[in-house]
Structure 1
Amino acid sequence: MPQEFCSLISPPVLAAGSDRDLRLDSTIQELPMYTFAVEVSVTGAEVGKYFDKYPLLPGVILLEQGKYIGMISRRRLVEFLMRPYGQELFFKEPLEVLYSYARLAILVLADTTPILAAMQNTLRRSPEFLAEPIVVHTADNSYKLLDPHELNVAAWQIRGVETQVRYERSQAQMIQNDKMARLGRLVDGVAHEILDPVGFIWGNLTHIANYSQDLLKLISAYDDCLPQGCAEINHIKDEIEFDYLAEDLSKAITSARSGAERLKKLVTSLQNFCHIDAVYPKPMDLHASIDSIVILIKSRLKGEITIIKNYGNLPPVSCFIGQLNQVLMNLLSQAVDSLLDESVRQQLQSDCHKSPKNPTIEITTAVISQPATQPNQTDSRWVSICVADNGPGMSDELQQQILENFSIEKRTEKETSLAVSYRIITARHGGKLNFSSKLEIGTKFEILLPLL
């Protein structure tokens, strides 16, 4: 063997990989990989010595003048040498000769590829190539070899983590559902207890108004019959300011009636919001549900925010109304928080030359159609619920975080309200939750529910 060939080969190096526990977003750079690259001018005999010395070495990276051109696996090299006259043809020839006969589809992946995505790419290969090692292109423009067995083991570990996460999440969701069901029953019972006395007040206010008018008529008749009256009666009238009392009594009764009506609507909205869903979805009036949520939202406001409702003609929509109420409350609460924070920020700003915008939330409903994506499909019809505000909008980083919460299952102790809302709309209702935001313009969330 010429001495110059031996100088072209560096012994294989095994990178142990990361010592961290694998997560759902782990990448293949965290797995053990071999660094073993040789020039194509090296013979198969010299490479075979390294395969004998390192029995776990999956293959060899081929370079031509230092540039990557391909890979030959241990299995392919052994197959060629075991052919009739294989050793005579290839054993002492440069690897470029063997590689010219063994041109195969090589899977090359970036080291930032997630392990689960790499496993999917591996399984898409033809069955005869499933055992072939994977070439990993690193950030420093070098190439390494990943044994598919290591990738398979890592993928199964992550699947186990994913299963555990889903189990823990389902357990937490069951506990949360039970807690919310108990809370809903408690609130419903309290609301019912409040509605009873409110009903008594509401029912008796009409009689009180009639009785007071009758009494005023009686007093007026006495005044007509006894215009002078007596000193004691005139003294009492002056003491109680009878003229003012007669004028203000009807206003006080009207105010009490208005307060009782508002309390009745608020408690009824609270009952609707705490609705306990049945096992199967039921057709519901979405506008009534939105009205109830708006009443609850307005209870925390003092007129700072204008809420505009643009309702279209909606049919009854089959849904889990309790969960949908939760989503609507989450979206409206986020819009209110954003507008209130912006209002406080504007008040604290020293530059008052810029005229503040009137904080507004606009709720729009409509039935829309989306064209079919395939020839054999028909156009789909959806119920659209848009919640838009004219707040400060979201930064690109915040929008990216929201998209990641929508698209990636993460092992977190506490999920955001938007992530919960996304799962309710997509997983429970087969719908879509879209959003868009622009700085200084506002944010818009759109719920799409399919019409069956």
Structure 2
Amino acid sequence: MDACIEDCTPPSASVFSHTHLRLESTLQELSLYDFQVDLDQAGMVLAKMFETNPTLPGVILNHDCQFIGMISRRRFLEYLSRPYGRELFLPRSIRALYKFSQVDLLILPGNTLIVDAARLAIMRSPEQIYEPIIVQISDSDYRLLDTQQLLIVHSYIHQLATELLQAQTQAQLRQTEKLASLGKMVAGVAHEIRNPVGCIVGNTHCLTQYYEDIMQLINAYEQELITPRSTIEQLKEDIDWEFLKTDGLEMLKSIQVSAEQLNHLVNSLRTFSHMDNRQRREMDIHECLDSTLIILKNRLKVGIEVIKNYGNLPKFSGYSGLLSQVFMNLLANAIDALEETANHHPNAAKIWISTHVADSCPSQLRSLIIPPPNYLEYSQNTQASEAAPTPQTQYIVIRITDNGPGIPKEIQNRIFDNFFTTKSAEKGTGLGLAISHEIIYEKHSGCLHLLSTNGVGTEFEIVLPLI
């Protein structure tokens, strides 16, 4: 035999032990057949290799240690079973047999994903579908993979993906139940807090008025007293009367402002936590947006400027709690993107929120919208365009734009997929945009469009038909 001939032990039963495999496993992680023979060897050598190794699917053919091709067990036995096949091919060199048995080869790099390899294997013609697959490990290292083994491994990975998806779905369902319970609790707490907060707001307003009246009365007394007693003058000095007169009023006003802010927050929580999704009700889109901004106020304190350009919108019949969830997802994503580039952002971090009513369908909508400065490229998501609503009389359009790093073009068509995220496990589940798309498309018959330019910014455009 030539020096290039190798007679390695075939893959054992361990090839069927798939516990080490992952969704992203590649062909080079599998046990591959490494049987090679020189093209000038006699056909008897090939017959001996197949006889000694009954599970061997084929043999790699070399010449001068260079890869030439492959001959499968199936084709070898087919040609030997023909009349005078054994007499013609066994004594002669393998080259003669190879000329008759050449077929198109499926050669795949070792780093090919198993799921991709299985798809390519079954797409072959019927006469070639059972031929072994050649796996190229390096420029000079070629090995064989039995198609049946590949399909078995692919079946395991498919099962693994199904189980993983089910586990993620169950985890998300549990999380959704927790959030639903939390939403109901927040709505209940907000309702309970609203009454005492309303009492504080009303009473601080009255108390401020009472304070001003008392100050007027005291000033009148001071004007009537020509020579105040020394004890009164001493008391005024001890309590710093002049400072108390001005600071007391300022203190009451600050309490009133704080109470009003707390009242706004409570109302925002009630709006955001509205859980009645059984029927539509009239709602104010701007109120939903403002309520979400109030909830996110603490995250916006890091130097992010919010620029609102609200149009004159009519009341919209929809599900306020669900739309608030969409606004929360989109605004939180914009804040996350801006926080990532906060330290080296060339311009001030900004979020634009604009609303208006349009008479045109979404496909004709872009000419009606004035983009923010330096906003260049429009890239509409395919999934969103397929979900375009049928022509209506009017549409409410909400645009949430940021001047963050943008979304790379190669992943833009995946952002609405379940569990797809570029964030760490601690920061994102990959469900926010998928749920938002479902809420807009299925619950409101609308569209959710993505517009993003890498390095410039990202915009989400919500189109809601007025029913």
Aligned pair partner of 1:388 in 403, 408, 415:
403
Q: Are 1:361 and 2:350 matched, yes or no?
A: yes
Aligned pair partner of 1:331 in 333, 337, 340:
333
Q: Are 1:51 and 2:50 matched, yes or no?
A: yes
2-side partners of 1:388 and 1:296: how far apart?
21
Q: Are 1:175 and 2:189 matched, yes or no?
A: no
Aligned pair partner of 1:421 in 413, 432, 439:
432
* Cα distance, 1:359–1:372 mapped onto 2, change above 3 Å: closer
Aligned counterpart, 1:142: 141
Map 1:71-220; keep pairs closer than 5 Å: 71-139=70-138, 141-213=140-212
1:193 Cα offset (Å): 1.7
User: Over aligned residue pairs, what C-alpha RMSD do you find?
Assistant: 4.6
Worse overlay, 19-28 or 71-80: 19-28
1:307 Cα offset (Å): 1.5
1:405 Cα offset (Å): 13
Q: Would the aligned equivalents of 1:31 and 1:150 in 2 still touch at CA under 8 Å?
A: no
1:146 Cα offset (Å): 0.2
2-side partners of 1:305 and 1:84: how far apart?
86
2-side partners of 1:68 and 1:314: how far apart?
73
1:212 Cα offset (Å): 4.7
* Cα distance, 1:273–1:435 mapped onto 2, change above 3 Å: farther
* Cα distance, 1:318–1:46 mapped onto 2, change above 3 Å: farther
Identity of aligned residues (%): 30
The alignment's TM-score, normalised by the length of structure 1, stands at 0.73
Aligned counterpart, 1:64: 63
Aligned counterpart, 2:263: 264
* Cα distance, 1:29–1:407 mapped onto 2, change above 3 Å: farther
Q: Would the aligned equivalents of 2:351 and 2:403 in 1 still touch at CA under 8 Å?
A: yes
* Cα distance, 1:451–1:93 mapped onto 2, change above 3 Å: farther
Aligned pair partner of 1:11 in 7, 12, 15:
7
1-side partners of 2:318 and 2:23: how far apart?
34
> Any idea what the Cα deviations from partners look like across 1:324-354, whole Å, max 9, x if unmatched?
24524642553575577x49xxxxxxxxxxx
1:100 Cα offset (Å): 2.4
1:35 Cα offset (Å): 0.6
1:162 Cα offset (Å): 1.1
SS across alignment from 1:159: helix
> Any idea what the Cα deviations from partners look like across 1:291-323, whole Å, max 9, x if unmatched?
33332333367x551413254659769783354
1-side partners of 2:295 and 2:130: how far apart?
61
1:266 Cα offset (Å): 2.0
2-side partners of 1:20 and 1:208: how far apart?
73
Corresponding residue pairs, total: 418
1:103 Cα offset (Å): 3.0
Aligned counterpart, 2:358: none
SS across alignment from 1:117: helix
> Any idea what the Cα deviations from partners look like across 1:5-39, whole Å, max 9, x if unmatched?
57664324435669752111111112121011222
Q: Would the aligned equivalents of 1:134 and 1:146 in 2 still touch at CA under 8 Å?
A: yes
2-side partners of 1:280 and 1:118: how far apart?
48
The alignment's TM-score, normalised by the length of structure 2, stands at 0.71
SS across alignment from 1:14: coil
Worse overlay, 136-145 or 243-252: 243-252
SS across alignment from 1:33: coil
2-side partners of 1:427 and 1:150: how far apart?
39
Instruction: Write the letter of the residue equivalent to 2:269.
Output: L
Instruction: Write the letter of the residue equivalent to 2:117.
Output: A
Structure 1 regions of 5+ residues with no counterpart? 344-355
SS across alignment from 2:7: coil
1:65 Cα offset (Å): 2.4
Instruction: Write the letter of the residue equivalent to 2:307.
Output: K
1:384 Cα offset (Å): 4.5
Worse overlay, 356-365 or 105-114: 356-365
1:64 Cα offset (Å): 2.7
Q: Would the aligned equivalents of 2:38 and 2:63 in 1 still touch at CA under 8 Å?
A: yes
1-side partners of 2:177 and 2:95: how far apart?
68
2-side partners of 1:99 and 1:156: how far apart?
33
* Cα distance, 1:287–1:13 mapped onto 2, change above 3 Å: farther
Q: Would the aligned equivalents of 1:326 and 1:421 in 2 still touch at CA under 8 Å?
A: no
